[in-house]
A = this chain, B = another copy of it.
């Protein structure tokens, strides 16, 4: 590229990482994918674009968030439907299920890790381009409730293998507040839920005021806040709700469903799942269980992994596909861990070894050493020039490469390898040398507390 006049500057909301931080992000992606695959989720990718009409179909004020795309040359724009970039992975997945229903086996379990785009105003930890990592299970007509317990347990396993420290997955069931509100005579469930959803941000006083403004009595507002105040990492939340003296069939359904999820959590991931009756998720298409996830000590970051159940993930008018899913906000999670907790990778390259070059004539020998190391799965590179060894060692040091290999440095003309951290240099044979397991791949530093 001959230098264009355009200034080289970051674009607000479109984050990019330096190599060491990208290695950290890749470690997260690898662990997440491994856990998703261990649980039998099939990988899927959907195109980045959808017809704008479908993106808008979600309702709410989603139109504010959508990036439309159009060919700059523009000479065939009349022939295509208007297209926009997807703003989540749920809308395209629902469309994919409808489009391929005849070729998929249901219940269908898939994971999907892709960029999404939202034209929102960027702010700390909020991006216009970011990666989500989703799992969903979708079935035809009916979806078994045990999948609602499975989703957060898969996430618990993934987060348990990641350097995120302690975390809590907060679970609620929409039917609990819905049945409770109806049981105390508040029939505008959606409005009440939206107000309660603001509890964590504005506190109970303003929420009570908003409830009264929306038509609730002081007593009703008090009961709503008492319900939202209930949280427990065991089944005691049922008794706490019952003690408020409200009954409604939908409330009973919700309590039973949430009990099943929490009971599974107590069995398989003790202390991780918390029944939190304040969790509502603003989006109005969730119909059952809802999830949010907080890192302990970093609650102000908000939820880093959220989802829930939809009775109608997709529908073609004849057949309805209920689903349940959960989504890790990967870009945001990694960004916050890098900037707030100082995490990064131990080096800026996958290479564990730099093979030194004695002189350009013997580059072939160094290349053969590298090939032998790679044949044993050891990432390495050959020094870019036959500079003085001090300079070659500095090349490795700047990148965090722990070992430098010296062909022919041994007394007998064999090779030697130096650990440049300790300075220790020993005889070695490239066909048999074993790289210490801890040095084979970049690791996360500093280790989580």
| Residues of A in contact with B (beta carbons under 8 Å apart) | 1-6, 8-11, 14-19, 22-23, 26, 37-49, 51-54, 56-59, 63-73, 76, 80-81, 83-85, 90-91, 94-96, 98-100, 103-105, 107, 109-110, 115, 117, 119, 121, 129, 139, 144, 146-147, 157, 264, 267-268, 285, 310, 312-317, 348-351, 360, 363-364, 367, 371, 374, 377-381, 384-385, 395, 398-399
Contact = CB atoms under 8 A, between A and B. Distances in A.
Nearest to A58: B1
B8 A48 contact: no
B315 A3 contact: yes
A42 B68 contact: no
Contacts of A374: 38-39, 157
Nearest to A157: B374
A444 to B, nearest CB: 15
A315 B2 contact: yes
Contacts of A129: 47-49
27 contacts: A2-B285, A3-B57, A3-B314, A3-B316, A4-B54, A6-B54, A9-B99, A11-B80, A11-B83, A14-B48, A16-B47, A17-B45, A18-B104, A19-B44, A19-B110, A22-B45, A37-B379, A38-B377, A38-B380, A40-B350, A40-B381, A63-B73, A69-B117, A105-B395, A109-B381, A139-B384, A146-B363
Contacts of A16: 45-47, 96
Contacts of A105: 348, 395, 398-399
Contact of A380 (B19, B40, B44, B371): B40
Given A42-B19, A66-B72, A312-B1, A49 B385 contact: no
A115 B47 CA distance: 10
Contact of A107 (B70, B109, B367, B384): B384
B43 A19 contact: yes
A172 B368 CA distance: 25
Given A3-B315, A107-B384, A43 B57 contact: no
A48 B17 CA distance: 13
A11 B348 CA distance: 39
A215 B67 CA distance: 49
A307 B16 CA distance: 24
A23 B2 contact: no
A228 to B, nearest CB: 28
Contacts of A380: 38-40
A69 B85 contact: yes
Contacts of A84: 72
A272 B224 CA distance: 72
B1 A57 contact: yes
B115 A48 contact: yes
B71 A119 contact: yes
